[in-house]
Structure 1
């Protein structure tokens, strides 16, 4: 059952379990990667495996819930950055946020993208890819209009750049290197 298409609201106890499982999954996926044991997620959430599987019938359903919620948070952060800073600094700060998010995702997006049956998650019109591309595009357009970023840069370029940095540094667990690489790339914008 996809995260965004629930037929009816959950009972209060089921919603609490759902929220605890998603929270635990975030932590476990960040620590162990997207292939983490679902049993460990249920244990950390304080629920049984049956509860986890009733609420999330597949690993993909759980990954989608975690990914979608985190992308929504990241998009909201883009809007706050735009309100709090000038166009150039807002874009650069949000790219830093995106870089941090990519580092903590530890294979979450890659696991969804590299599995052929899951690739549609990030390609849906209302899906995560569209949401994040839209957020990046709004910040980028403002920065370009202010003359802070070269006009030929595209939102997709920025997202690919941050993803590449994440993939290049994922196995090294080196936040400083990821930040240095982003800083080098930003200077070229």
Structure 2
């Protein structure tokens, strides 16, 4: 579990310098949900940052959340993500949608539509689709 978290941390940290922070955050979110359809217990790993577990594993999960802080802040500064979204809220959304995709056996169409709705909710009101 820690190895999987370290891989995600590395990926999240690499987003800090992405030219388009908004696209980087959305891409990370989308990849996490997409992987949930094929990797069991993935959403459980993402949710670990918010529950009491082994201290070392919890600390590693919190590092993932922290690693997303820079790209999230940059995406907010660019106007791509609403300014009131916090790191813990972003992680909760990723974990929740991933859990639903994983446990619900979503097909690709349902996954795409659910992602569209959630990601639209992350955008500032003036930048929402539809």
| Aligned partners of 2:5 and 2:64 also within 8 Å | yes
Give the CA deviation at 1:124: 4.7
TM-score normalised to the size of structure 2? 0.72
Once residues 43 and 24 of structure 2 are traced to their aligned partners in structure 1, the CA distance between those partners, rounded to angstroms, is: 24
Q: In structure 2, what is the Cα distance between the partners aligned to 1:91 and 1:154?
A: 13
TM-score, with normalisation over the residues of structure 1?
0.52
After superposition, the C-alpha distances for 1:131-172 in whole angstroms (9 at most, x for unaligned) are 111122121111112221111101111111121112223233
Corresponding residue for 1:129? Answer: 61
Structure 1 residues 13-92: aligned runs within 5 Å: 67-92=1-26
Q: Which residue of 2 aligns with 1:24?
A: none
> Equivalent of 2:34, from 80, 100, 105?
100
Structure 2 gaps, min length 5: 123-130
> Larger Cα Rg: Structure 1 or Structure 2?
1
Secondary structure in structure 2 of the residue aligned to 1:188: helix
CA distance in structure 1 between the partners assigned to 2:44 and 2:12 by the alignment: 22
Matched pairs, number = 119
**Secondary structure, in 3 states, of the residue corresponding to 1:120?**
coil
Asked which structure has the greater RCO (Cα within 8 Å, sep 6+), the reply is: 2
RMSD: 3.0
